[in-house]
Chains A and B, each alone.
Chain A
């Protein structure tokens, strides 16, 4: 069973005591352990990003994989960082909201600009996850139709109901990027 495999893998990782991951282009070597600065094997990627690396742009809404607010990219694919253990991310490349666009020049990703132009948020708490979900979609499909955007974002909870603005923004960003 899978759990057996996981146990073997966790043990290996515990032995290795270090994991390497790339976040927004920066390479990190993190110590695995139970001390304050270390990555506990029980830590989720969301927790590591926010608390160990200080990248608080990634939000935790439910911490149970059902609201989408913690969405980040792992090797270009959207994942729920609250449902991913950091020790499982060895060798992976992660992109968070802080890595969207060009943080050096301050040039925004077309999605970010479109979200600004359409005020595609109200409270803004779901926005980082929503943007990363949309980014993953546009990485796979440069010209999504409205139905495909809805499907891709259907796991993202927005209680303010900015969905209609978000749809306009994502479709507009896709158009601009083409």
Chain B
């Protein structure tokens, strides 16, 4: 297969990121580096209570403080709303979590704004709060929103069209369970409220030019969202969105509805630009956590690993709200089917709000949440059947010709790859066969330390999601400019798109550049979500470059007295195919002041899922209970690597962004008596340091995947997803006891070993 691989000039070669110099010299501009003329600082007064009515709010003293330019409460704030369906106001007369916004201040300096917050007097009427997803749906539970009885958030919201997926129901589960040799059953949860926690806190600058024209600067991974998603929520002003360099997002900063609302509302009243930059504490306590996920159900399998039925109820906990939960449920339901080939499903969902900080978009987007809660049940069934999980996943991951209901509710048939080779290559690199000793059996025992191995898989068909449009402009100076609304939040995708265009046009990479991510100067692009950059945006820019190339050759044909298809372009010169000495510069074709522009479009295609398998080796100390990750192998087939260093970085990302470590030590600790998150700083919220890096090897196959001409497929988004369940499996095997709770803390290990008392 490798022998057949096409050699490209740029594609697949390690090339410096186009923005590398800016980044290493500190010149890359992030949101907090941006200053607008006369810009004010916006700050938020936050609730100390998890659930309360605001009886009185007095801002007289804050208003009077010199330097204060705007003070907003629920009484005078614009009526904009977010949430699906729309229910989350900019400020409300009620607060629903500790940290919920109560009032907003814009002032000349941060110090004055902070002082003004302290001068606002609020009288609260405390209300009982609810934190547990199943308690929240009881009839007598405290209710967060009047419009959502029993705290059930509607699922029939058509987020992805009229048939938008909110459950997986097909076949006959009763018959399926009847055919099963083994049944795994139970209730398990993945609800440690992990935080994707990019290093840079969220921030937004808003500036109005007249009452209907808003410009928004923000750190986002998808530059268009603050326009196309916010337009309808804000009464359709003309929103221009500009994305700065984004200091990490992992989904969470796709858009920042709340900071945007605050900055825009304050800017409107103050008549000046306002920056709202969250502190780290706000980032932890009032931005976006992972959805809570609990699964009660069962799975039936046959001796040979055939899955006969899946049924159960998936409880999804948004916290106080979530702007994307229904979308995450849709994708999660789709991804479960990619992982498990099964004819009989009855998987129902409930979306519930509770009194803790809101959830948002996080890498893994519903699928990681569902699979992590579902995996213990699957493991029980595999354990009963004594099946090697690698063989099980190889057998059951979706294959070309097999179908699934995707997020739009349509039945899609996979025309992508059989990933069995990636699974086998990964297993070989990890030495799985040597290390796997059976369920609840350690690979090795060294005194009190026991080593176990685990494995997980994940895939996503959203790699071909949503729409993209791009222009490629050929300039007379033999450079090319890509117009596409693409941000940079770490994937290096802007550079990779330049590589694709440079390849089509046969230009040196330094001659291809891209417009800044700005909705005013670029056509629509949905953004860098679900690893769609490589396939979806890639397809659009490749098509645009090819269109421009064709137009250029058509313009040149008369000059050569030949047909366009007899010509080619090489290094900024048009020539007769294969005869570089006939070349004439682009400017001789277009004229010195004219350009030649091509258009490319991409339409959604959910038929080519990606795939990742993660193998992990965990050492558990049976004396202290501590579990340590020693070794990771990630294996995938990327079709064709665009940029090897960037792709590797994406896969190493398995260790970050509320990924694998949510099974080891990452969690937001909620005090259920007072509703406070207890560890909302970077000392108490645990994160992996350089000193604790495991061995990590990436196995990346490149066997060509039918996407676009470079046969490449993105895989970064799912890097975090298979990890948590793989770690549970490995730790369980190490100690010989089934561990089912995330994260595997020393306390939980020692409890499982009977060394400390169970509660």
List residues of chain A with CB under 8 Å of any chain B CB. Answer: 36, 40, 42, 50, 55-64, 66-67, 69, 96-98, 100-101, 108, 112, 115-119, 121-128, 131, 149-151, 153-167
Known: A66-B681, A123-B246, A161-B656. A61 touches B280 (CB 8 A): yes
A45 CB to nearest B CB, Å: 15
Known: A119-B649, A159-B656, A165-B645. A57 touches B26 (CB 8 A): yes
Whether A158 pairs with B199 at a CB distance below 8 angstroms is yes
A88 to B127, CA, bound (A): 47
Whether A62 pairs with B654 at a CB distance below 8 angstroms is no
For residue B32, CB closer than 8 A to chain A, the reply is yes
Give the dominant DSSP class at B's interface: loop
Given contacts A122-B649, A149-B690, A150-B691, could you give 9 more A-B pairs where the C-beta distance is less than 8 Å? A59-B200, A64-B683, A116-B21, A119-B643, A126-B199, A157-B682, A160-B248, A161-B653, A164-B648
Whether A116 pairs with B690 at a CB distance below 8 angstroms is no
Whether A125 pairs with B199 at a CB distance below 8 angstroms is yes
- Contact partner of A66 among B14, B654, B682, CB < 8 A? B682
Whether A156 pairs with B489 at a CB distance below 8 angstroms is no
Q: Which residues of A contact B16 (CB under 8 A)?
A: 116-117, 119
A101 to B25, CA, bound (A): 9
Q: Which residues of A contact B645 (CB under 8 A)?
A: 118-119, 165
Report, nearest first, the 9 A-B pairs whose CB atoms are least far apart.
A57-B26, A125-B247, A122-B490, A97-B26, A123-B490, A124-B23, A119-B645, A56-B33, A66-B682
Q: Which residues of A contact B492 (CB under 8 A)?
A: 119, 122
Query: Which A-chain residue is minimally distant from B29 (CB atoms)?
Result: A56
For residue B567, CB closer than 8 A to chain A, the reply is no
Whether B490 pairs with A119 at a CB distance below 8 angstroms is no
Interface of chain B residues 635 through 678 with chain A (CB within 8 A): 643, 645-646, 648-650, 652-657
Q: Which residues of B contact A98 (CB under 8 A)?
A: 25-26
A82 CB to nearest B CB, Å: 10
Q: Which residues of A contact B28 (CB under 8 A)?
A: 124
A101 to B30, CA, bound (A): 22
A112 to B22, CA, bound (A): 10
Query: Which B-chain residue is minimally distant from A153 (CB atoms)?
Result: B690
A34 CB to nearest B CB, Å: 9
Whether A62 pairs with B682 at a CB distance below 8 angstroms is yes
Whether A97 pairs with B198 at a CB distance below 8 angstroms is no
For residue B250, CB closer than 8 A to chain A, the reply is yes
Q: Which residues of B contact A158 (CB under 8 A)?
A: 199, 656
Whether B109 pairs with A127 at a CB distance below 8 angstroms is no
B30 CB to nearest A CB, Å: 6
Whether B26 pairs with A56 at a CB distance below 8 angstroms is yes
Q: Which residues of A contact B682 (CB under 8 A)?
A: 61-62, 64, 66-67, 157
The count of residues in chain B whose C-beta lies closer than 8 Å to any C-beta of chain A is 60
Whether A154 pairs with B199 at a CB distance below 8 angstroms is no
Q: Which residues of A contact B488 (CB under 8 A)?
A: 123
Give the dominant DSSP class at A's interface: loop
Whether B14 pairs with A119 at a CB distance below 8 angstroms is yes
Whether A151 pairs with B26 at a CB distance below 8 angstroms is no
A9 to B455, CA, bound (A): 58
Whether A123 pairs with B198 at a CB distance below 8 angstroms is yes
Whether B657 pairs with A159 at a CB distance below 8 angstroms is yes
Q: Which residues of B contact A154 (CB under 8 A)?
A: 689-691
Whether A159 pairs with B690 at a CB distance below 8 angstroms is no
Whether A97 pairs with B25 at a CB distance below 8 angstroms is yes
What are 8 A-B contacts with C-beta separation under 8 Å? Answer: A55-B26, A64-B683, A123-B198, A123-B246, A124-B23, A125-B30, A131-B24, A150-B693
A115 CB to nearest B CB, Å: 5
- Contact partner of A63 among B279, B652, B657, CB < 8 A? B279
Q: Which residues of B contact A149 (CB under 8 A)?
A: 690
A125 to B30, CA, bound (A): 8
Q: Which residues of A contact B681 (CB under 8 A)?
A: 62, 64, 66
B216 CB to nearest A CB, Å: 20
Known: A159-B248, A159-B657, A165-B648. A123 touches B20 (CB 8 A): no
Q: Which residues of B contact A100 (CB under 8 A)?
A: 25
A97 CB to nearest B CB, Å: 3
Whether B200 pairs with A163 at a CB distance below 8 angstroms is no
Query: Which A-chain residue is minimally distant from B20 (CB atoms)?
Result: A116
- Contact partner of A61 among B14, B200, B649, B656, CB < 8 A? B200
Whether B654 pairs with A161 at a CB distance below 8 angstroms is yes
Whether A57 pairs with B27 at a CB distance below 8 angstroms is yes
Known: A56-B26, A59-B247, A121-B23. A160 touches B279 (CB 8 A): no
Q: Which residues of A contact B201 (CB under 8 A)?
A: 61
A121 to B18, CA, bound (A): 12
Query: Which B-chain residue is minimally distant from A99 (CB atoms)?
Result: B26
Q: Which residues of A contact B280 (CB under 8 A)?
A: 61-64, 67
- B186-202 vs A, CB cutoff 8 Å, 1 = contact: the mask equals 00000000001111110
Whether A122 pairs with B491 at a CB distance below 8 angstroms is yes
Q: Which residues of B contact A126 (CB under 8 A)?
A: 199
